[in-house]
């Protein structure tokens, strides 16, 4: 009998063609002009899941874009139920960003599919769908599976928490698998065992009632200058965050964790490609990989005010703004961090301007211990299909749905990602490596078998 791995290999070209068809749909969730494209993408995905034999397919409405749900629940009550999450929406993309071709016209070059959403997250969603097809056409699933794919991840999943709460019974499972993260390389499998949380805020500094002629300077505090003074005080000279209490709840890495991270330190060539000849900067006492994934940060995402066009416009702006996000680690509470940052900014702000701070919300960090059976099943799955042992990496980014699933459904989450570091997610010429697409399908098949019979 044909194995699921053989089936996948025999259908490699068709799997690629179907991914490219999915990628042609410009499912940009943030832009209302693409509302019909979002519905088309949801319908296409539901149709593909129906075609391969998944059951109970629904395109379920939310207050925003719909969720696609399907399942297969015939493995038996003695087998675990695995919930699989992904998203079909993508970031905006236009040629002017630096694309070599239309971002929604997939092209294959250098053994990669180039298109918006190829790595984040349509390629990874399709890896799960094609693994399901291979299993359903051969041995069948060794576990019960539920799939739900949302359409709002790229805009912060504003309606997903309520959806999960309202559908707790439908989504009930023993474990969730999410493939919306990365992997070390084509030859080095890796697992993100944690993700940082997020807290965002926006500062507005107000001065005169309206923009003023700069000839009036010297008698009022320029809001653009004032906001620069505030922002400059948020870090100490050595790179640490200056906010009192910012680090007090931070999870302390064990010596074994720190030792393991030495295996995955940022490559010198990668560092040079990012930074050129600039020296590193940041919290002392920690390596680059620790700062990226295991330590909290406070980042200035944007600072603006006044005239920013070509040439000169001699004004003193009425206001200036700064956008800030904090990446948080285990045990840190976004609400507490906002309170601390808010209090510190008000304390250091000049009294010659008015300061307003808006909480943009956030999410907690997520962590699944390496020794968890779900993670160890992934280790064994990689061992069956890859020749190099897995390394563990703390993830520097945030996926809010992870915390929603953990807290609302009460189940652990395993991050089984397949996007390469140079995939260019969110940037121009995003790509998904064709070899990784095939490896992802095989690894997911192996994982479902390993989680069915934990050792």
Of 67-81, 157-171, 385-399, minimum mean pLDDT range: 385-399
DSSP 328-373: E-TT--HHHHHHHHHHHHHHHS-TTSEEEEEEEEEE--EE--TTSH
Q: What percent of the chain has pLDDT over 90?
A: 89
Of 87-91, 266-270, 322-326, 360-364, minimum mean pLDDT range: 266-270
Tell me the per-residue pLDDT of 277-294, one tens digit each, with 9 for 90 and over.
Answer: 899 899 999 999 999 999
Asked whether the predicted pLDDT for residue 260 surpasses 90, the reply is: no
Asked whether the predicted pLDDT for residue 31 surpasses 80, the reply is: yes
Q: Which CA distances in Å does 173 have to 75, 200, 384, 406?
A: 13, 31, 25, 11
Mean confidence (pLDDT) of the chain: 95
* Mean predicted confidence (pLDDT) in 412-433: 96
* Mean predicted confidence (pLDDT) in 108-114: 97
Tell me the per-residue pLDDT of 77-87, one tens digit each, with 9 for 90 and over.
Answer: 999 999 999 99
pLDDT classification of 398: cutoffs 50, 70, 90: confident
Give the pLDDT confidence score for residue 154 in this predicted structure.
94
Asked whether the predicted pLDDT for residue 130 surpasses 90, the reply is: yes
pLDDT classification of 454: cutoffs 50, 70, 90: low
Tell me the per-residue pLDDT of 162-185, one tens digit each, with 9 for 90 and over.
Answer: 999 999 999 999 999 999 999 999
Q: Would you list the domain boundaries of the chain? A: 4-195+365-452, 197-250+296-362
Asked whether the predicted pLDDT for residue 230 surpasses 90, the reply is: yes
Look at the block and give the residue holding tokens 């393991």: 260
Tell me the per-residue pLDDT of 204-213, one tens digit each, with 9 for 90 and over.
Answer: 999 999 999 9
Of 178-182, 239-243, 335-339, 398-402, minimum mean pLDDT range: 398-402
Asked whether the predicted pLDDT for residue 224 surpasses 90, the reply is: yes
Round to whole Å and give the CA distance between 438 and 428: 23
Give the pLDDT confidence score for residue 400 in this predicted structure.
82
Side-chain half-sphere CA neighbours of 317 within 13 A:
16
Asked whether the predicted pLDDT for residue 267 surpasses 90, the reply is: no
Tell me the per-residue pLDDT of 6-23, one tens digit each, with 9 for 90 and over.
Answer: 999 999 999 999 999 999
DSSP 75-109: S-TTS-EEEEEEE--B----GGGT-SS-TTS-EEE
* Mean predicted confidence (pLDDT) in 81-98: 97
Q: What percent of the chain has pLDDT over 70?
A: 100
Classify domain 197-250+296-362 by CATH number. Answer: 3.30.70.360
Q: Which of 303, 300, 299, 280 is nearest to 290 (CA)?
A: 280
Round to whole Å and give the CA distance between 143 and 146: 10
pLDDT classification of 270: cutoffs 50, 70, 90: confident
**Could you tell me the pTM of the whole model?**
0.87
Asked whether the predicted pLDDT for residue 317 surpasses 70, the reply is: yes
φ and ψ at residue 315, rounded to 5 degrees = -130, 160
Q: Which CA distances in Å does 263 have to 153, 288, 293?
A: 31, 12, 14
- 300 or 399, which is more confident: 300
Instruction: Please provide the distance, in angstroms rounded to a whole number, between the alpha carbons at the two ends of the chain.
Output: 26
Is the separation of the CB atoms in 296 and 328 below 8 Å?
A: yes
Asked whether the predicted pLDDT for residue 377 surpasses 90, the reply is: yes
What is the CATH architecture assignment of 4-195+365-452?
3-Layer(aba) Sandwich (3.40)
- In terms of residues, how long is the chain? 455
Give the pLDDT confidence score for residue 233 in this predicted structure.
98
DSSP state, residue 57 = E
Q: CA-based diameter of the chain, in Å?
A: 85
Give the pLDDT confidence score for residue 455 in this predicted structure.
64
């Amino acid at each position: 009998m044909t194995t699921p791995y053989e089936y996948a290999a025999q259908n490699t070209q068709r799997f690629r063609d179907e991914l490219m068809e999915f990628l042609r749909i410009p499912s940009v969730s943030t832009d209302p002009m693409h509302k019909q494209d979002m519905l088309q993408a949801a319908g296409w995905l539901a149709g593909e899941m129906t075609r391969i034999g998944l059951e109970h397919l629904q395109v379920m409405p939310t207050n925003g874009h719909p969720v696609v749900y399907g399942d297969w629940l015939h493995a038996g009550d003695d087998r675990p139920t695995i919930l699989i999450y992904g998203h079909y929406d993508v970031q905006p993309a236009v040629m002017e960003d630096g694309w070599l071709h239309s971002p929604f016209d997939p092209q294959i070059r250098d053994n990669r599919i180039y298109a918006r959403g190829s790595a984040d997250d349509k390629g990874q969603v399709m890896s799960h769908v094609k693994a399901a097809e291979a299993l359903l056409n051969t041995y069948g699933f060794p576990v019960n599976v539920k799939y739900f794919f949302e359409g709002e991840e790229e805009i912060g999943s504003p309606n997903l928490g309520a959806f999960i709460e309202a559908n707790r019974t439908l989504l009930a499972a023993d474990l969730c698998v999410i493939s919306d993260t990365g992997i070390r390389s084509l030859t080095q499998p890796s697992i993100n065992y944690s993700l940082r949380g997020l807290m965002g805020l926006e500062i507005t500094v107000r001065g005169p009632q309206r923009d003023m002629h700069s000839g009036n300077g010297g008698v009022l505090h320029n809001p653009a200058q004032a906001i620069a003074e505030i922002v400059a005080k948020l870090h100490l000279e050595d790179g640490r965050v200056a906010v009192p209490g910012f680090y007090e709840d931070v999870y302390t890495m064990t010596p074994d964790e720190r030792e393991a991270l030495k295996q995955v330190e940022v490559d010198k060539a990668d560092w040079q490609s990012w930074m050129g000849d600039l020296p590193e900067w940041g919290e002392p006492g920690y390596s680059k990989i620790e700062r990226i994934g295991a330590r909290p940060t406070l980042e200035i995402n944007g600072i603006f005010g006044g005239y920013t066009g070509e040439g000169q416009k001699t004004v003193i702006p009425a206001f200036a703004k700064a956008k800030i996000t904090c990446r948080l680690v285990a045990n840190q509470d976004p609400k507490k961090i906002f309170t601390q940052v808010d209090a510190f900014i008000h304390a250091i702000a000049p009294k010659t301007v008015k300061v307003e701070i808006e909480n943009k919300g956030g999410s907690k960090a997520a962590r699944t211990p390496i020794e968890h059976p779900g993670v160890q099943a992934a280790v064994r799955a990689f061992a069956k299909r890859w020749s190099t042992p897995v390394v563990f990496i703390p993830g520097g980014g945030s996926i809010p749905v992870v915390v929603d699933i953990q807290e609302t459904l009460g189940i652990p989450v395993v991050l089984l990602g397949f996007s390469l570091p140079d995939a260019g997610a969110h940037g121009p010429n995003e790509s998904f490596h064709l070899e990784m697409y095939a490896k992802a399908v095989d690894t997911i098949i192996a994982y479902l078998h390993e989680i069915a019979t934990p050792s």
